[in-house]
Structure 1
């Protein structure tokens, strides 16, 4: 059973993600359609990040398309920083493979471990009856080399 404090923090993340306005600039490097599906995936990812941050865990990104949209959001630096403060109480850094600080990759574990933690994070933030689109989104939007297909833990 989740503690009340944890539940309140997850609720805060959910509310901030729901309120986040995503300008067209988010999609400059993410040409995949339908955009609404990519947006759903990005919002689900940001909610998973909130659960992971509460437990000080590193999770893995199962979707190239969502990763590209996240990059676009990060480039809206002021908007992204304000969102992170509201949702997480601190900045959510992006650590692409090969770009992390020394020792970070070892602490994060393998990508398989990170993806398993993503699935666990989803179990904490999923709304009743909500489908997680992160795992097959790349196939659904036509990413040439999909990341998540077949990797669902």
Structure 2
């Protein structure tokens, strides 16, 4: 089962890295540098893989990336093809108050959803890969930026690392001599 889970994340990582993002994606996203926003969008799309897999709703930590994602969604054929390649199904956008009531976690406080985003990043990130999502809006000059406090990110990442180590210790075969 763990191999299958890793395959799903690898698939989304590859699709996010390879998708062509046309200039139409940025029509309502005027902030610069565009390359930073593109990096954020690709990271966000990668975070969505474990969230979809696990039936979780994650929060969007960046207004600039949210605008770029909206632009990508409006490129309907390209976005639909990306979703199929990355996730095997369509990734719907559920703005606040717009989701069906039967979606688990959609009405959770934003703080909880953002916490799940940090967990999702921990699952998709490469070794020593830096996430730009947490303070991207401040870096590109968004008025009223969205963000996650760096200390909270660090605390969640430490907890995920600890849980991962504990799981490995429980499942590792014993090396004790018999």
TM category, shorter: over 0.9
CA offsets per residue over residues 116-137 of structure 1, 9 Å max, x none?
Answer: 1000000000111111110100
User: CA offset at residue 28 of structure 1?
Assistant: 0.2
Give unpaired runs (5+ residues) of structure 1. none
The answer to whether residue 26 in structure 2 is matched with residue 27 in structure 1 is yes
Q: Cα gap change, 1:123/1:106 in structure 2, threshold over 3 Å: closer, same or farther?
A: closer
Q: Secondary structure at the match of 2:133?
A: coil
Q: Higher mean Cα deviation, 106-115 or 140-149?
A: 106-115
Find the counterpart in structure 2 of residue 45 from structure 1: 44
Check if 1:95 corresponds to 2:94.
Answer: yes
1:136 aligned counterpart, secondary structure: helix
Give the secondary structure class of the aligned counterpart of 1:97.
coil
**Superposed CA offset, 1:77-108 (max 9, x none):** 00000000010000000001122223548654
Displacement after TM superposition at 1:150 (Å) = 2.9
More contact order relative to length (CA 8 Å, sep ≥ 6) = 1
With structure 1 as the length reference, what TM-score do the two structures score?
A: 0.93
1:124 alignment counterpart: 123
**For 1:74 and 1:99, how far apart are their aligned partners in 2?**
16
Match of 2:11, SS state, is: helix
Q: Distance in 1 between matches of 2:141 and 2:106?
A: 33
1:17 counterpart = 2:16? yes
Distance in 1 between residues matched to 2:86 and 2:15, nearest whole Å: 5
Greater CA radius of gyration, 1 or 2?
2
Instruction: Number of aligned residue pairs: give it.
Output: 152
Q: Matched residue of 1:130: which SS?
A: coil
Compute the TM-score of the two structures, normalised by the length of structure 2: 0.81
1:55 is aligned to 54
Which has the larger displacement, 101-110 or 37-46? 101-110
Ranges in structure 2 where 5+ consecutive residues have no aligned partner: 154-178
Q: Distance in 2 between matches of 1:79 and 1:119?
A: 27
Q: Is the 8 A contact 2:114 2:148 kept in 1?
A: no
